[in-house]
Amino acid sequence: MPDVIVKESKINGKGVFACRDFKKGELILKWDISHELSEEEANKMPDEEKRYVAFWEGKYVLQLPPARFVNHSCDPNTFVKDFSDFALRNIKEGEELTSDYSKEPEPNMNMKCNCGSEKCRGVIRG
């Protein structure tokens, strides 16, 4: 049985959900970073794919499933380190995995937030 599953999300489109409990600090997802892009390639991506390009640690990477479906939250339960998602706190089976997109060094990021958390900032800015 997989550790995570992609399914419909109340936050936005598809989301990634825990298939088991995770403890704080535990590795949840290791990104497939085999699709590294140049800045020019990243800028030429179609808009529907461009939203899955992450700029992290000086690299542009096209995120692949399931990592591409981790939705934003202003009160996230994961954090990104070394192209991986780790549990920021204990996460229960069935819970949607979320990350704070504003922690990414993406200067052009400016999008409406749908996270619904009590800490929601309304806008996601890189």
pLDDT at 54: 82
Give the predicted TM-score (pTM) of the model.
0.87
Beta-sheet pairing, 71-72 with 96-99 = parallel
Rounded Cα gap, residues 55 and 57, in angstroms:
7
Phi, psi of 36 (to 5 degrees): -75, 140
pLDDT reported for residue 108: 62
Condensed to tens digits (0 to 9), the pLDDT of residues 35-50 reads 899 999 998 999 888 8
- 1-22 pLDDT tens trace: 789 999 999 999 999 999 999 9
The per-residue pLDDT for range 49-77, each reduced to its tens digit, is: 888 888 777 888 898 999 999 999 999 99
Residue 50, pLDDT score: 84
* Tokens of residue 95, six digits: 């819970």
Domain 4-31+68-125: CATH superfamily is SET domain (2.170.270.10)
Where do the domains of the chain lie?
4-31+68-125
In whole angstroms, what separates CA 12 from the centre of its chain?
12
